[in-house]
């Protein structure tokens, strides 16, 4: 076998990390890369998947025994090894090398504990024959040492493995199980031959044979000498035998006489034995005849007693007690007689099961008496199931009709009534055991009963929700706020923002506080009462069901929480089927009640659209608390409510965006736009309403509103190119001033604040550049011309260009800077005239002076390079002049 290289050690470390992450401490004996396939997949064009086979051992804490495993590791999407399959080597029964593979590198490992023998076991393909022999020898050696047995080998010669092992002699570290505990031993590869040699000749026997052969000197040196020697010894032996025969002749004659006499005696004894044998044969026949008759009589007696006993046992369960027959066929289902009805159901269930094959000997199953009795019990079962189902359907309907007819169960004018189903559930629990027995007798009878219960209780729940929602809206006093926030007069905006509509959110919260726990309780009770076979967990959000305003008469917030069973595939299938049936039934039970919740949401939107923010947070809080409840419909109801609220709020945002966009179609805009100044008021109000997880909803609204504001502002500015920069800088400045405090705490508004700041700076720069260039147009035109020529013409040649002579320079300086103080004052008045806000004038004038000085300084430097002997006003003089202006 090849010596382990760095790649093998790296593979061992990766395997150790993958196995150790599962929490199992095992020793790795061998790790090797293989390719996994199933034969028919490769024929279909599928590529074999890479895997790593790892042989590991695990020792018991007391060191009494050693366990051996074959682990299959696969590569994850990130290229990391992770456990995929685990086999126990003690179940390995066969190693089959595939004959169709000409390389001999593909084999199958057969285990006797696989669940499905109909599925072909995987085929493992090694990289080469050495890797295959290395793996198979390690497996055989571990099976021999740990389990004292070898699996069956097919398609490979064990002698071939032994010869290969002899040629590859590097040491292999194996862990073996000694009597006094586990120990790590280093075995040479020659020791691996023990798998073959122990089955043929042991080492000790081989040494004895060599010693024995060594003691005898045969003298086989030359073939002719050895042949002559053998002939001489043969002649000597023949001569010795003839001489011995001649000497023993008298003795032989005496022996023959004695043999003749003994033969006569033997003939006499044989005659006597034949006579006695005939006598004994007749006696044996007589005894056998007597024993046969006795055995038959004894067998007949035992069989008769057993038959009588079995007939008594069979007749006992076939009798139907008269009291049970009366209860099953015509008894009453009143509460007082329910105990007798349940006892009759238990007896009927037991009697039917007693006549089924698992509980009855199969030889009796086809007897006519059993068939007749089974048919009689089936008829009795159908009669009872039909009577009980009809009674329960009528009982559910009458119970709900009684509650609906009594107005005291519902909210009335001036009084909100919390729904109380404690008495309803108490009366229904009386028949819980009856429903369980009906399910045991006939599962199909539960579907109509569940449907009848859902239809009846759905009427009650919808009536309670409708009356409660109507009275809740009627008793809630709140001023209605207009939906127009970003247009209209300033006074109306202030009035809208000052109105208190907190009672609207409180009303919505009260609706959820009352009805969400009620619906969860009803779902849980329904699942238990109607015998749904679903696994249950402790409810994760049961504590959220009891909020402020709950009374002591409310039912407990017990809840069924569902999980996927991982016991076996059959249980998973049954559980998923039951869960699907439960969700369908819950939909029938609670369907329609969402309309009353929607009505409360629409009512709250009409009063104050911004209350959608707080209602969204309240709904999210209830939704996060109902993650694990069995009432799947309740969770869907909360999701639909959340979607409804989000839709209504999006409608408000759409209307606000339309209000903003209408400014684009107005006449020429001057100063700060109305929606810019009012957005801060709207944002402050929205921040007050945020609860829980409503931040995302509000941030999305901010993003859409501000994006629309900025887009509309840009379009308005483009419609008036002459004053576009003034409109932009004034509105962006107003946006920053109004949202300074909110932007410090709200990341989304901070992003738009910085965006407005950048746009403001750009607008200021453009507007100031226009003001300066309009006042000093000739000066800067001359500067741009010489600046453009510096890239193509040497500095000393620029004064000789047309229009750029020294004379031209003096004319430009005289016309532009002869009365520079007057020009600066005109520039200030022009800037003041363009602005409608006096607050922006000082910072803009400072920017204008700074920009003018920077441009003039650049011009002075360019003139000094190109016209070195020309004089012009220094920068410091203009700086002092601007400082005094």
- 512 contacts 619 by C-beta, under 8 angstroms: yes
172: β partners = 187
How does residue 885 score in pLDDT terms, banded at 50, 70 and 90?
low
Q: Inform me whether the pLDDT recorded for 546 exceeds 50.
A: no
CA distance 867 to 871: 9
CA distance 762 to 147: 85
Q: Inform me whether the pLDDT recorded for 197 exceeds 70.
A: no
213: Cβ contacts below 8 Å, ≥ 6 apart: none
CA distance 342 to 195: 68
In the prediction, which pLDDT does 826 show?
76
Pairing state between β 123-125 and 81-88:
unpaired
718: Cβ contacts below 8 Å, ≥ 6 apart: 724
* Rg, the chain, Cα only: 52
pTM of the model: 0.54
Residues 487-522 pLDDT 10s: 544 443 443 445 677 888 888 888 888 888 888 888
- 697 contacts 714 by C-beta, under 8 angstroms: no
Question: What are residue 86's phi and psi, to 5 degrees?
Answer: -135, 125
User: Quick one: which of 21, 64, 55 has its CA closest to 140?
Assistant: 55
Residue 718, classed as helix, strand or coil, is helix
Residues 712-726 pLDDT 10s: 888 888 877 777 778
Question: What are residue 157's phi and psi, to 5 degrees?
Answer: -90, 130
Q: Inform me whether the pLDDT recorded for 53 exceeds 90.
A: yes
Pick the range with the lowest mean pLDDT from 79-88, 269-278, 483-492. 483-492
CB < 8 Å & 24+ apart, contacts of 754-759: 755/710, 756/710, 756/732, 757/732, 759/710, 759/728, 759/732
Q: Inform me whether the pLDDT recorded for 222 exceeds 70.
A: no
Give the DSSP letter string of 788-815: HHTTTS-GGGGGGSTT-SHHHHHHHHHH
In the prediction, which pLDDT does 840 show?
75
Two tokens at 557? 């917030």
CA distance 585 to 589: 6
CA distance 559 to 563: 13
Residue 264, classed as helix, strand or coil, is helix
User: Quick one: which of 351, 359, 343 has its CA closest to 378?
Assistant: 351
- For 263, 275, 277, 278, 279, the CA distances from 271, given in Å and listed in that order, are 13, 6, 10, 11, 13
Cβ burial, residue 653 (10 Å; 0-12/13-18/19+): buried
How does residue 206 score in pLDDT terms, banded at 50, 70 and 90?
low
CA distance 829 to 842: 12
Q: Inform me whether the pLDDT recorded for 481 exceeds 70.
A: no
Pairing state between β 49-59 and 106-111:
unpaired
CA distance 729 to 725: 6
DSSP H or E stretch at residue 92: strand 92-97
* Mean pLDDT rounded to a whole number for the chain: 76
Which residue do the tokens 């430097």 mark? 861
Q: Inform me whether the pLDDT recorded for 562 exceeds 50.
A: no
CA distance 341 to 347: 10
Mean pLDDT value of segment 81-85: 88
Residue 38, classed as helix, strand or coil, is coil
Q: Find the DSSP H helices in 216-248.
A: 223-247
66: β partners = 59
Sign of CA dihedral 377, 378, 384, 385: positive
User: Quick one: which of 548, 650, 593 has its CA closest to 457?
Assistant: 593
Residues 163-195 pLDDT 10s: 888 888 554 444 434 333 333 333 333 344 334
In this prediction, what percent of the chain has a pLDDT beyond 70?
A: 79
Pick the range with the lowest mean pLDDT from 66-80, 447-461, 467-481. 467-481
User: Quick one: which of 827, 811, 802 has its CA closest to 779?
Assistant: 811
In the prediction, which pLDDT does 538 show?
36
CB < 8 Å & 24+ apart, contacts of 477-483: 477/503, 478/503, 478/504, 478/607, 478/608, 479/607, 480/606, 480/607, 480/608, 481/607, 481/608, 481/609, 481/610, 483/609, 483/652, 483/655
CA distance 562 to 632: 10
- 863 contacts 872 by C-beta, under 8 angstroms: yes
Q: Find the DSSP H helices in 673-776.
A: 674-688, 695-719, 724-738, 740-743, 747-775
Pick the range with the lowest mean pLDDT from 152-166, 365-379, 447-461, 773-787. 773-787
Mean pLDDT value of segment 218-247: 72
Mean pLDDT value of segment 81-106: 88
In the prediction, which pLDDT does 175 show?
41
Mean pLDDT value of segment 594-614: 88
- 854 contacts 862 by C-beta, under 8 angstroms: no
Residues 250-263 pLDDT 10s: 777 888 888 888 88
In the prediction, which pLDDT does 187 show?
37
131: Cβ contacts below 8 Å, ≥ 6 apart: 32, 105
């Amino acid at each position: 076998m090849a010596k382990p290289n760095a790649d093998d050690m790296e593979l061992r470390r990766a395997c150790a990390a993958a196995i150790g992450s599962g929490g199992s401490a095992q020793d790795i004996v061998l790790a090797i890369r293989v390719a996994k396939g199933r034969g028919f997949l490769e024929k279909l064009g599928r590529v074999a998947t890479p895997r790593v086979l790892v042989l590991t051992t695990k020792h018991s804490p007391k060191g009494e025994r050693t366990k051996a495993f074959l682990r299959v590791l696969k590569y994850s999407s990130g290229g990391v090894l992770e456990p995929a399959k685990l086999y126990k080597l003690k179940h390995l029964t066969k190693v089959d090398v595939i004959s169709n593979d000409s390389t001999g590198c593909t084999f199958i490992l057969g285990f006797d504990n696989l669940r499905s023998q109909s599925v072909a076991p995987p085929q493992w393909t090694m990289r080469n024959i050495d890797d295959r022999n290395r793996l198979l020898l390690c497996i055989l050696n571990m099976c021999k040492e740990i389990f004292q047995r070898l699996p069956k080998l097919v398609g490979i010669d064990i002698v071939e493995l032994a010869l290969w092992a002899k040629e590859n002699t590097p040491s292999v570290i194996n862990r073996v199980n000694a009597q006094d505990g586990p120990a790590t031993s280093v075995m040479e590869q020659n020791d691996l031959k023990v798998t073959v040699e122990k089955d043929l000749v042991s080492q000790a026997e081989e040494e004895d044979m060599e010693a024995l052969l060594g003691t005898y000197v045969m003298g086989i040196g030359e073939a002719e000498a050895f042949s002559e020697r053998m002939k001489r010894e043969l002649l000597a032996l023949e001569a010795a035998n003839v001489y011995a025969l001649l000497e023993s002749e008298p003795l032989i004659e005496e022996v023959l006489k004695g043999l003749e006499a003994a033969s006569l005696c033997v003939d006499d004894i044989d005659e006597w034995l034949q006579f006695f044998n005939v006598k004994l044969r007749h006696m044996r026949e007589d005894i056998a005849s007597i024993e046969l008759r006795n055995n038959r009589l004894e067998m007949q007696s035992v069989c008769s007693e057993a038959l009588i006993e079995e007939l008594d046992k069979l007749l006992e369960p076939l009798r139907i007690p008269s009291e049970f027959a009366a209860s099953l066929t015509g008894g009453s289902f009143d509460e007082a007689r329910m105990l007798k009805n349940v006892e009759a159901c238990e007896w009927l269930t037991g009697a039917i099961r007693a006549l089924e094959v698992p509980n009855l000997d199969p030889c009796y199953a086809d007897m006519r008496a059993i068939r007749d009795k089974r048919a009689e019990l089936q008829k009795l079962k159908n009669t009872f199931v039909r009577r009980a189902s009809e009674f329960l359907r009528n009982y559910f309907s009458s119970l709900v009709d009684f509650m609906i007819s009594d107005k005291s169960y519902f909210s009335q004018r001036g009084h909100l009534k919390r729904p109380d189903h404690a008495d309803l559930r108490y009366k229904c629990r009386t028949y819980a055991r009856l429903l369980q027995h009906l399910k045991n007798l006939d599962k199909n009878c539960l579907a109509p009963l569940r449907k009848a219960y859902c239809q009846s209780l759905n009427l009650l729940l919808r009536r309670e929700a409708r009356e409660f929602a109507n009275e809740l809206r009627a008793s809630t006093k709140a001023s209605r706020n207009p939906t127009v926030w970003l247009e209209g007069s300033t006074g109306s905006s202030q009035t809208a923002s000052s109105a208190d509509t907190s009672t609207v959110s409180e009303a919505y919260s009260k609706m959820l506080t009352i009805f969400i726990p009620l619906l969860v309780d009803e779902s849980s009770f329904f699942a238990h009462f109607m015998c749904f076979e679903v696994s249950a967990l402790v409810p994760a959000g049961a504590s959220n069901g009891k909020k402020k305003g709950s009374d002591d008469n409310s039912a407990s917030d017990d809840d069924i929480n569902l999980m996927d069973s991982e016991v076996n595939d059959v249980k998973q299938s049954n559980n998923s089927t039951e869960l699907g049936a439960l969700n369908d039934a819950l939909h029938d039970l609670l369907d329609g009640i969402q309309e009353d919740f929607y009505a409360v949401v629409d009512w709250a939107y009409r009063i104050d659209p911004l209350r959608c923010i707080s209602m969204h947070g309240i709904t999210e809080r209830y939704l996060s608390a109902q993650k694990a409840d069995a009432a799947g419909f309740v969770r869907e109801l909360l999701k639909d409510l959340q979607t409804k609220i989000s839709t209504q709020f999006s409608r408000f945002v759409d209307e606000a965006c339309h209000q903003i966009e209408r400014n684009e179609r107005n006449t020429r805009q001057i100063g700060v736009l109305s929606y810019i100044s009012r957005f801060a008021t709207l944002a402050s109000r929205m921040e007050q309403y945020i609860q829980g997880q409503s931040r995302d909803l509000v941030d999305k609204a901010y993003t859409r509103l501000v994006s629309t504001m900025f887009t509309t502002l840009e379009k308005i500015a483009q419609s008036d190119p002459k004053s576009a920069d003034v409109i932009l800088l004034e509105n962006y400045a107003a946006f920053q001033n109004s949202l300074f405090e909110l932007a410090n705490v709200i990341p989304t508004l901070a992003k738009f604040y910085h965006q407005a700041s950048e746009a403001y700076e750009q607008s200021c720069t453009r507007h100031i550049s226009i003001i300066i260039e309009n006042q000093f147009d000739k000066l800067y035109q001359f500067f741009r011309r010489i600046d453009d020529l510096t890239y193509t013409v040497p500095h000393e040649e620029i004064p000789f260009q047309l229009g750029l002579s020294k004379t031209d320079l003096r004319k430009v300086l005289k016309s532009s800077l002869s009365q520079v103080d007057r020009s600066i004052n005109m520039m200030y008045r022009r800037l003041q005239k363009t602005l409608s806000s006096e607050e922006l004038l000082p910072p803009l004038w400072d920017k204008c002076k700074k920009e003018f000085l920077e441009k003039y300084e650049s011009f002075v430097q360019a003139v000094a390079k190109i016209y070195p002997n020309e004089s012009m006003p220094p920068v410091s003089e203009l700086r002092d002049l601007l400082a005094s202006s």
